[in-house]
Amino acid sequence: MGQDTLQRLDALSTALFVTAALVLGLSVLGALAITASDDAVPGLGFEEAQRQGRAVATVLALAGGIATAGVTAALAGILKLMVAERLEGSEG
């Protein structure tokens, strides 16, 4: 594998780390937006159920974001280690 390809893969792994951070940040913002919303339909008598549903949606949004960010960061770490190993092998 050429040096140019390894440098591109290293840049890709860095971009994946940044993407993981963005996903985590956006999931926190989404969870806050869900928590802050108060779109209960008045008069139906389901206000409590809607509040509980929002709590579940908040937890799911946050958990999904954490899981996705974790998988993305793990892939970035694996790629970064593989590229570093190849770079060390090509130098020595």
Q: What is the pLDDT of residues 25-55, one digit of tens each?
A: 999 999 999 888 876 666 666 677 777 888 8
Distance CA 78, CA 28 (A): 25
Q: What is the pLDDT of residues 52-66, one digit of tens each?
A: 888 888 999 999 999
CB 76 within 8 A of CB 21: no
Distance CA 5, CA 2 (A): 5
How high is the pLDDT of residue 44? 63
Q: In 3D, which of 18, 9, 15 has the Cα closest to residue 87?
A: 9
In Å, what is the CA distance from 66 to each residue of 60, 61, 72, 73? Answer: 10, 9, 10, 10
How high is the pLDDT of residue 14? 96
**C-alpha dihedral sign at 18, 19, 21, 22:** positive
- Find where tokens 């993407």 sit: 19
